[in-house]
Amino acid sequence: MTTAIDIILFDGVDELDAVGPLEVLRGAAAQGADLSVRLVTRAEPLDVTGNHGLRMQADAVYVPGADILLVPGGGWIARAGAGAWAEAERGDWLPLLRAAADAGAVMAGVCTGVMLLARAGVIGDRPATTHQDAKADLEAAGVKVIDQRVVDAGGLVTAGGVTSGIDLGLRLVERLAGREAAVAQARRLEYPWSPEAGAERAGPHGHTITTEPVSGLVTARWGGEIVAESRNALLLRETGLPPVTYFPMDDVRMDLMHRTDHRSTCPFKGEASYWGIEVDWRRAENIAWAYEEPLPDRVDIKGRIAFYLDKLDAFYVSET
């Protein structure tokens, strides 16, 4: 399933805040990661002028629906008339950011773009970071500030000043396409990056994962077949993400499934493997995933598999 990532642009944006992650993410997409990355403005015109005079053209006007919304900074510290400070004061982006977060999008902020997220009220009690000269402002907004280049709090990923946006892009690639894909991008960029260095990921305050049994018979259909049916399904709820139903593999038609090469990494669950499905003439890739060797805190989903609901023909729970 393609992950849609929107990077917002506005006049006065720090160019590298936006272009750094763009280079990483589109580079990963060019090498096979299932990512769609756009530059978006709030409204027309699509042309913007960056903090240092670089003229850039967005791909589209922003419309809700991206899986990840990335907010760059620029101009905050100087309280400039164009940039993140001006956008926060104007307020046009703030309700759009809140709505995206409420809809379950992962929110990402680079440099003082994190201050826009704070102003929008989407950080809450999760930890974050920002440019070193804006950390006092972030603390004053009630945010727990972590002194790292990247802070991954699940549904919220933030980066420090300017070049840290490259680290954030690599972190997102690691989450979405696996560590090898991220390392490949760092090597391509000749960027000195280590997955473990300069990142805060473990146990962010405010991020929770819970599981609970699903009451009733859960059925998934695809290609005219019941591909999964179970009375022992498990519902996983995670901060910032929609609920996911995990079936025991014993209750899934694994004879119809085939492994794919796709991998992704979650800092809270581990590395995910993906499966496609084929029935007669119909075929779908990466319709399901599983954490075959989950992290210790998530052994409850070991031996289970989940489906993308929008790829199924039907999914329902019945009492019979």
In the chain, domain spans? 3-200, 209-318
Q: Give the pLDDT confidence score for residue 206 in this predicted structure.
A: 57
Tell me the CA distances in angstroms from 89 to 76, 109, 237, one per residue in order: 11, 17, 35
Give per-residue pLDDT as tens, 37-78: 999 999 999 999 999 999 999 999 999 999 999 999 999 999
3-200 is classed CATH 3.40.50.720: no
Q: Give the pLDDT confidence score for residue 202 in this predicted structure.
A: 43
The mean pLDDT value of the chain amounts to 92
* 305 φψ region: left (φ > 0), alpha (ψ -120 to 50), beta (else): beta
Q: CB of 62 within 8 A of CB of 40?
A: yes
250, exposed or middle or buried, with CB in 10 Å at 0-12, 13-18, 19+?
A: exposed
For the cut 50, the answer to whether the pLDDT of residue 168 exceeds it is yes
Arithmetic mean of pLDDT, 90-116: 95
For the cut 80, the answer to whether the pLDDT of residue 152 exceeds it is yes
Class for domain 209-318, per CATH? mainly beta
For the cut 80, the answer to whether the pLDDT of residue 165 exceeds it is yes
List the structure tokens of 18.
């936006």
Arithmetic mean of pLDDT, 224-248: 91
Predicted TM-score of the model (pTM): 0.67
